[in-house]
Structure 1
Amino acid sequence: MSVLSSASPEKIYKLARDLSKLPAWASGLATGSLTLIDANSLELDSPMGRVHTEFSPINSCGILDHTVILPDGTKVLNPFRVIPHPTGSELIFTVRPSENFEEDCQAVSEDLERLVSLVESA
């Protein structure tokens, strides 16, 4: 799934990688309180319960991959990239096949659009 933005990849990445701001745009992951553990990981309330999330280290390549560790210990890798595009940037998030695939795609699309809106209105 991808979304385009007129904002630069650097601006999108900067806001998306600010873990404290996840509740502002990532409702599929962050629905309540969060506890930052270090620069790359946090625990947070999510639609799946309290989860631990580990992000790729801060980088200049636009890689925002993150692993969500569910309450039952299941680890789910979420590939997420922000890359240059002729109009600004393209946000690419891989949605894994599941029983709720269509709903997951809709939720991710809304989250990415919310992220773009936050960055473009700033």
Structure 2
Amino acid sequence: MSEDVRHLGVSIAVPLARAYAFAHRPDNFPLWAAGLSSSLHHDGQHWVAQTPAGPAVVMFAPPNDYGILDHHVRIAGQPDIYIPLRMIAHGDGTQVVFTLFRQPDMNDAVFEADAQAVMADLEALKRLLEQAAG
């Protein structure tokens, strides 16, 4: 079962309050989360992104005091994809942890590519936040 889950993370040299204030806003996700792409937009009561499988409704955790950035991605005809994403205070900085679950019918190569894409997104978030704090 452990090969079906990966915990990916980065340390960011920015206090949690500042990191979360930026990262919890869905309109900022396209600045660092390539998986949601620049197509993410607010459509009525939902956030929607275009994906290779069609439009996806993205439901974000409401703003909170706990650093929770979890979200669900719903593509018509497919099971919801749950994405646990947390920011945790660590000294004067922030630890960001993304839990990547292997999706049904995902082979090893696709799972590895997904993990690499997530790490690229987390590194992009780290660069954005640390440059802004610079």
The question of a shared fold, defined as TM-score above 0.5 by the shorter chain, is answered with: yes
Task: Note if 1:120 corresponds to 2:130.
Answer: yes
Counterpart-to-counterpart distance in 2, 1:109 and 1:78: 14
Query: Shift of residue 79 of structure 1?
Result: 0.4
Query: Shift of residue 20 of structure 1?
Result: 1.0
Q: Judge conservation of contact 1:4–1:87 (CA < 8 Å) in 2.
A: no
Number of corresponding residues: 120
Query: Shift of residue 48 of structure 1?
Result: 4.3
Counterpart-to-counterpart distance in 2, 1:101 and 1:75: 17
Counterpart-to-counterpart distance in 2, 1:95 and 1:83: 17
Query: Shift of residue 30 of structure 1?
Result: 2.4
- In structure 1, the partner of 2:32 is 25
> Which one of the candidate residues 52, 59, 83 is aligned to 2:64?
59
Counterpart-to-counterpart distance in 2, 1:36 and 1:115: 25
Task: Note if 1:104 corresponds to 2:118.
Answer: no
Identity of aligned residues (%): 32
Counterpart-to-counterpart distance in 2, 1:45 and 1:115: 21
How much is the aligned-residue C-alpha RMSD, in angstroms?
1.7
Unaligned runs of 5+ in 2: 1-7
Q: Which has the larger radius of gyration?
A: 2
Q: Judge conservation of contact 1:23–1:30 (CA < 8 Å) in 2.
A: yes
Question: Runs in 1 of length 4+ with deviation above 6 angstroms?
Answer: none
Counterpart-to-counterpart distance in 2, 1:106 and 1:48: 20
Unaligned runs of 5+ in 1: none
String of CA shifts for 1:3-44, please: whole Å, max 9, x gaps: 111011122211111111211111012242522544xx4112
Equivalences for residues 64-103 of structure 1 within 5 A: 64-86=69-91, 88-97=93-102, 98-99=106-107, 100-103=110-113
> Which one of the candidate residues 10, 32, 54 is aligned to 1:3?
10
Q: Structure 2 vs 1, CA of residues 55 and 92 (structure 1 numbering), >3 Å: closer, same or farther? A: same
Counterpart-to-counterpart distance in 1, 2:120 and 2:53: 18
Q: Judge conservation of contact 1:35–1:44 (CA < 8 Å) in 2.
A: no
